[in-house]
Amino acid sequence: MAIEICTVGGYNEVGKNMTAIKVDDQVVLIDMGLHLDPYIKYTDEDDTVKEVTEATLTKIGAIPDITPIKQWRKQVVAIVPTHAHLDHVGAIPYLSNRFDADIICTPFTAEIIKTICKDEKIKLNNDIRVLNANSTIAVSSKIKIEFVNVTHSTPQTVMVVVHTPYGKVLYGNDFKFDNHPVIGKKPNYERLEELGKEKKVIALIVDGTRSREAQKTPSEQVAKEMLRDVMLGVSSEGKAVIVTTFSSHLARLDSIIEFGKKMNRKVVLLGRSLGKYVAAGEAIDLVKFSKDAEIARFRKHVKKKFSQIAKNPSKYLIVCTGHQGEPKSVLSRVANGEFDFKLGKEDHVIFSCTIIPTALNKANREILEGKLKKSGVRIFRDIHVSGHAAREDLRDLINMVKPKHIIPAHGDINMASALSELAMEMGYKVGENVHIMQNGQMITLE
């Protein structure tokens, strides 16, 4: 027999990640994510209440189209999200009930899934089973799932090893090799090297997002030093200071809160998604931000907080949503003058992020920055390092695990091509043991 893989989503774009791995008559689904651009555009287009259903979201391309695996539906034995980012877990509320299978994930990812479902008022029929990094669980008589600890821009991210009678499939989407993480442990290189020595990795499904960039992705400690330079090394006396970053990036938030305290400012976290991810981290004792920062999640509380801040803005460090210029985010609403609080000349706005390179994000950020500049603020952009492996990290991974086949994932054709070029440098051949796949395609590996 053989292993069949269906590249359900995330092979034409960055987002909507989902892969099905079939072993004889049993199937594992890895990741079940949103494509954020069409989702945000649909839900933010106007203020009317819209029906958000599986059918609608599939039609607009916001969740994976599971039609290619409809004949496998009753054979699914596990749903395995690798980490808590929405492009990997955001479709679970809309799709997982179609499958009679448990969801297996790390504790932080489990908390985020529960929170999303509560917010969307959706009841999951699936049980959520928690598996810690560097642990293994049998999901059937033929398949074991192993979590290998790696680093990324959200906590408790893992690579997944699918153990089968015919070899192992290693799923390595969304990772970096950070030897000095701010939160959590460094990657489990020892286990990855063991997998290579065993010579049983039949396929590596791997993140090609930054495969064209000839570097090693810098550590999160580098981003921390960049923040230190801007927050503590530039005078902000008498000025308002706003920082915005990814809500899921608890390590970055940890650094921001640390420096906010050193600035002798009261730290306030404002926005729904910030509240969501921080609450999840606190629920499993990963962080304790609420002892050092006030958190206002909902609109009326944010509005009230800004009324207090407006009396003396230089007493506060404002951490808020809006790093991609999302129209309904807190920072966009500040720029639109929707609060009593107003930004003024030479106040600081720090974007501890890069723009996720989509047309929508670029347009939204350009609009937001244009409004901020009219207020005369100082803008500090790109105070950030990526959570994705660059070309030389990918080379190291391939050298470590020595896969028989490589399937580029998590990106468009340009990203997949760049990863294929790297593989060819290393002795692989496109069409023979490197497979550029599109959404909904199937491949059988002997």
Other C-beta atoms within 10 Å of 130: how many? 16
> What CATH number matches the domain at 3-216+387-445, 3.30.565.10, 3.30.390.10, 3.60.10.10, 3.60.15.10?
3.60.15.10
d(CA 22, CA 172): 18
d(CA 142, CA 127): 21
Pairing of strands 3-9, 441-445: antiparallel
Which pLDDT score is estimated for 1?
64
d(CA 54, CA 95): 7
Which pLDDT score is estimated for 8?
98
Residue 45: exposed, middle, or buried by beta-carbon count in 10 A (0-12, 13-18, 19+)? Answer: exposed
Give the pLDDT confidence of 373-409 residue by residue, as tens digits: 999 999 999 999 999 999 999 999 999 999 999 999 9
Give the three-class secondary structure for 159.
strand
d(CA 325, CA 5): 37
Pairing of strands 26-30, 18-23: antiparallel
- 168 contacts 202 by C-beta, under 8 angstroms: yes
d(CA 370, CA 368): 5
Which pLDDT score is estimated for 120?
85
CATH 3.40.50.10710 region(s) of the chain? 220-380
Which pLDDT score is estimated for 377?
97
Which pLDDT score is estimated for 415?
94
- Model confidence, pTM: 0.94
Single-letter residue type at 269: L
Which pLDDT score is estimated for 356?
85
d(CA 178, CA 169): 23
Mean pLDDT by 10 residues, the chain (446 residues): 92 94 97 90 61 87 95 97 96 96 97 92 95 97 97 97 97 96 96 96 96 97 98 97 97 98 97 94 95 93 96 97 94 95 96 88 94 96 96 98 97 94 97 96 93
CATH 3.60.15.10 region(s) of the chain? 3-216+387-445
| Pair of tokens at residue 433 | 């043991």
Which pLDDT score is estimated for 46?
47
Single-letter residue type at 405: H
> What CATH number matches the domain at 220-380, 3.20.20.140, 3.40.50.10710, 3.30.365.10, 3.30.70.20?
3.40.50.10710
The Cα-based distances of 268 to 244, 276, 332 in angstroms read 12, 15, 17
